[in-house]
Amino acid sequence: MIDFNIINLTECDSTNAYLQNKISGNDTAEGLVISTLFQTKGRGQLSNVWESERSKNLLCSILLRPETLPVKQQFLISQAISVAIVEVLNTYSDGFKIKWPNDIYYKEFKIAGILIENNLSSGGIGSCIIGIGLNVNQTEFHSDAPNPISLKNILGHSVNILKLLDEILSAFNLVYTLVYSDVKMLRERYFDLLLFNGEERIYSDASGNFIGKIIDVEGDGHLLVLDSTNNIRRYAFKEISIIPNY
Ligand code: BTN
Interatomic CA distance for residues 38 and 54, integer angstroms: 5
Amino acid 246: pLDDT: 45
> In angstroms, what is the span from residue 150 Cα to ligand 1's centroid?
15
**Residue pLDDT, tens place only, 82-133:** 999 999 999 999 999 999 999 999 998 999 999 999 999 887 999 999 999 9
Please tell me the predicted confidence (pLDDT) of residue 242. 83
Dist. CA 1 → ligand 1 center (Å): 25
Determine contact, residues 85/174, Cβ cutoff 8 Å: no
pTM: 0.97
Closest ligand 1 atom to the C-alpha of 43? 14
Q: Which atom of ligand 1 is nearest to the CA of 39?
A: 14
Which residues of the chain fall short of a pLDDT of 50? Answer: 246
Rounded Cα gap, residues 236 and 239, in angstroms: 6
Atom 7 of ligand 1, nearest CA residue: 133
Spacing, Cα 240 to ligand 1 middle (Å): 21
The reported pLDDT for the residue numbered 25 is: 78
Q: What is the pLDDT of residue 68?
A: 93
Tell me what pLDDT residue 127 has: 96
Position 245 scores a pLDDT of 64
End-to-end CA, the chain = 41
Please answer whether residues 106 and 96 qualify as being in contact, where contact means their C-beta atoms are separated by less than 8 angstroms. yes
Q: Count CB atoms within 10 A of the CB of residue 20.
A: 18
CB 15 less than 6 A from any atom of ligand 1: yes
Say how many Å lie between the CA of residue 51 and the centre of ligand 1. 9
In the sheet with 201-205, reading across from the earlier edge strand, the strands are: 232-235, 223-227, 208-217, 201-205, 240-242
Atom of ligand 1 nearest to the CA of 46: 2
pLDDT tens sequence across 181-197:
999 999 999 999 999 99
What does the pLDDT read at residue 243?
Answer: 76
C-alpha–C-alpha distance, residues 30 and 133, integer Å: 20
Determine the atom of ligand 1 nearest the C-alpha atom of 42: 14
Q: 148 CB less than 6 Å from ligand 1?
A: no
- The pLDDT score that the predictor gives to residue 200 is 95
